[in-house]
Amino acid sequence: MPPAGPAHGTTPDVPTQLMGWGSNSAGQVTAGPAVLPLPVPVPGGLDFVDASTGTNHSVALAKDGRVWSWGANNSGQLGDGTDVSRTEPAPVPGLTDIVEVRAGSVFSVALDSHGRVYSWGVNTSGRLGLGSVDAGRSTPTRIPSLGEIAQIDVSLAHVLARRSDGTVWSWGSNLVGELGYGTAPYSAFPTMVPGLADVVDVAAGDVFSLALRRDGTVSGWGSNAERQLGNADAGEIRLSPGYVAGPISGVADLEAGGDFVMVLLSDGTLRTWGSNVRGQLGIHSPVGNAGAPAKLQIARVTQISAARRSALALTDDSRAYSWGVNALGILGIGDLPTEMRAPTEITALPGGTVALASSGVGGHMLALRTDSPLFQVKLNPAAGTLVLPSGLAPAGAQANTWVSIASVGSYRGSVTLKATGLPPGIKATFSPPIVSSGESAQLTLSGVSLETGPYTIAVTGTSAFPLKQVSATYTLTLADSPPPAPDGPAG
């Protein structure tokens, strides 16, 4: 899709509140015990849109594209050039226009809007992807020669990067084949995983990796000790991508825990497989592991998150549920019981939470609370002129704008576009008519009318699940002489 560029809409900006709970040994949640959700202290006016948890540090992405970090900093994982830990978020210098940030075990990785990837923190096994296994970096350093990256995910000590061309690249630890190529114990150089194409999502577990293809099939490689790679023999080590599951229709999100897998479908239901020794599959069963996807007894789910042996889900009525091991209060329900084998509501979490985040590494969770919609409808340009001399539209007489969908938090669902309030004789066409977060559509207005306007047209996006509608306005003026050349999609 063409990039939407700077855009305009009428959706109000509503601040988010960052909440955290679980392990707090280094202040990675906030100061003091955190067995129940607590607000993370942030500077006034700061609006977060995503967050991620490392072993004992946290990172969060602000709406303005800056990254903030807090918690332990013994190896430079906070990225501020020091080794001083802190219990409150502070900005990571040198990073702008960031669209995704992930925390691993004592390191962090960020992706900017141009597809460039940056890393900092400990560099054991070459997990920073900088071509060496030196002492690491205490400030963000760009990883060279990766091409245009569309998504990143990290785990204990390895990183996956999905390029915009549908290929997957990996680097870091390779103790049991989690990089998908070769038998060397690590790779400090990002290398393409062979045998993968048309990949639309990736997920990194402790020592295994997953890729979702456009056809709905899931491929995996690395450890299968807990059948997280599907029905293959438990204990198998897979050195290259192989079939795991599918085709699974309507996958909205793919998440990897330490040794289990979660899949959110577009109908709001969940599937899990892999280890269940601490109830992390959420299937209310004593079974030790499962190689086939099992359906959970929870519906209308909009967001999911996987920690190492715990899981989190949000439903469309803003209720949050957790299950799995409850070490140090990671489930957000207090420090007892020590595990939950079925989804249990986190009643202490305020309503309105629309985005949940965890890298799958930390013993703590972070959640974003907001009262804003799940997405925003944005227009570029926000006004245009349609040439209609004598009320007759000559060939090519059109007004065009680009409509983009921007998520609030990590919403990934699809949105159907529609224009209302059109003047008589004017037709609106969207190409394509359905878009997902981060994508754009072209709105073309054409037809005949004798009135010059201006007209205010409502461009409305509707998500089927959960049912939400968000509108932005476009100003149309009719003229009898050619207007200046319209703006194209901004880059």
CATH no. for residue 96? 2.130.10.30
DSSP-derived 3-state class of residue 391: helix
Tell me whether residue 7 is in a domain: no
Domain membership flag for residue 201: yes
Please, are residues 456 and 421 in contact by the beta-carbon 8 Å criterion? yes
Contact 123, 143 (CB under 8 A): no
Domain termination site, one of 349, 369, 389: 369
Judge if 356 and 382 occupy the same domain: no
DSSP bridge partners of 313: 304, 321
Rg of the chain on CA atoms, in Å? 23
CA-nearest of 369, 488, 396, 391 to 448 is 391
User: Which one-letter amino acid corresponds to residue 296?
Assistant: L
DSSP label at residue 309 = S
The verdict on 363 and 437 lying in the same domain is no
What pTM was computed for the model? 0.79
Give how many domains the chain has, as a whole number.
Answer: 2
Let me know if residue 337 belongs to a domain: yes
Contact between 401 and 370 under an 8 Å Cβ cutoff? The reply is no
For residues 220 and 258, membership in a common domain is answered with yes
One domain for residues 308 and 399: no
Matching residue, tokens 């089927």: 464
Whose tokens are 């205490």? That residue is 138
**How far, in Å, are 27, 44, 105, 148 from residue 21 at the CA level?**
11, 21, 18, 35
* Shared domain check, 437 and 331: no
- Go through the chain and tell me how many residues it has: 491
Strand order in the sheet with 137-142: 98-103, 107-112, 117-121, 137-142
To the nearest 10°, report the CA torsion of 103, 343, 301, 303. Answer: -10
Phi-psi region of 227 (alpha: psi -120 to 50; beta: other; left: phi over 0): left
Kindly report the backbone phi and psi dihedral angles of residue 428, in degrees, each rounded to the nearest multiple of 5, phi listed first.
Answer: -115, 135
Closest listed residue to residue 488, CA positions, set 392, 369, 416, 402 = 402
The pLDDT value recorded for residue 172 is 98
User: Are both 237 and 379 inside the same structural domain?
Assistant: no
DSSP reduced 3-state for 470: strand
Q: Which domain holds residue 395?
A: 375-479
| C-alpha angle 289-184-262 in degrees, rounded to nearest 5 | 25
Strand 468-479, strand 383-387: pairing = parallel
Same domain, 397 and 472: yes
Task: Quickly tell me which residue has 């060939």 as its tokens.
Answer: 395
Residue 463 belongs to a domain: yes
pLDDT string in tens for the chain (491-residue length):
222 232 333 333 445 688 899 999 999 998 878 899 999 988 877 888 788 999 999 999 988 899 999 999 999 999 999 999 999 999 999 999 998 999 999 999 999 989 999 999 999 999 999 999 988 999 999 999 898 999 999 999 999 999 999 999 999 999 999 999 989 999 999 999 999 999 999 999 999 999 999 888 999 999 999 999 987 777 889 999 999 988 888 888 899 999 999 999 878 899 999 999 999 999 998 889 999 999 999 988 888 889 999 999 988 777 889 999 999 999 999 988 999 999 999 988 776 555 565 656 889 999 887 666 678 899 999 988 887 655 444 444 688 899 988 876 556 667 889 998 888 778 899 999 888 777 889 999 887 666 678 889 999 988 765 667 888 999 988 876 554 554 545 44
